[in-house]
Amino acid sequence: MSNGESPVPVERVGVVGGGIMGSGIAEVCARAGLAVTLVEANTPAAKRAEDRVAQSLERAVARGKLESGDAEEALSRLTYTDDLGALADRELVLEAVVEDKAAKLAVFASLDDAVVSNDAIFASNTSSIPIVELATAREARAGHVLGLHFFNPVPVLSLVEIIPSLLTDPGVTERARAFVTNQLGKDPITAPDRAGFTVNALLVPYLLAAIRMFEQGLASAEDIDKGMVKGCAHPMGPLALSDLLGLDTVLNVAEILYTEHREQLFAPPPLLQRLVAAGLLGRKSGRGFYSYD
């Protein structure tokens, strides 16, 4: 803001996609006192998102991280629907659908008709797709598009990558930063608009190196993870972390990174490709590098 005025706070937020990331983003926005509308593909998916948020809030109360009254207030601020038209009055809309470029482009193209406000910010929670590629779906308002990449679990981890593209208006970036910092209480970093941004450009090669080590029979999964937890003070080993993130997500990000950079450290190991092809995606499928009950 060139006139020195503080950015106008966001009051009404829309989230498109109610999976683990989308529901987590919706939850933290509601806990911050914002009115949140979450849009899913259909009514059953919207109900699953509603249940996911309710269960997360219940866990926060049970662990003493949230008062029961605050949880109830957060729930009262949330609306779930399968109608993109419900986003008409939103000041910030955050896309959190599957990590697939075509799917995200379709969402951004649809938002042109759904969102009325010419000042609305359009953000993507993509973990790897360059923002400028998504902004092309909104040529008339490309300056209002940027990346806001949250980390899983969203209610717990404080980092958010803010990724402006070459087309993003500086005032939009400033307002988004104020939203993340002042309203959500998160800790942002500014990331370059390239595949993988900052965190995944560093993290994914590390995960792939661990998968290659296991694939080559150089160490067991347990020893690889224990080595990094006990020897390097990581909170979780790389193979357990891959299972938590979802092996399909790790593969998708690796493929995007390799396509852009053509560096061998980004190339997906064959074992990762086979696990995903077999539907062994980690925690969410019950089996990956480890088995989960």
Residues that are catalytic: 127, 149, 161, 200
Which pair of tokens denotes residue 208? 């792939």
Parallel/antiparallel/unpaired status of strands 159-164 and 145-150: antiparallel
Q: What is the rounded distance in angstroms from the CA atom of residue 132 to the CA atom of residue 189?
A: 18
Taken as a whole, the chain contains a residue count of 293
Which pair of tokens denotes residue 283? 């925690």
Sheet with 78-81, strands from edge to edge, namely: 78-81, 35-39, 12-16, 92-95, 121-124, 145-150, 159-164, 187-190
**Phi and psi, residue 124, nearest 5°:** -120, 140
Burial of 64 (0-12, 13-18, 19+ CB in 10 A): exposed
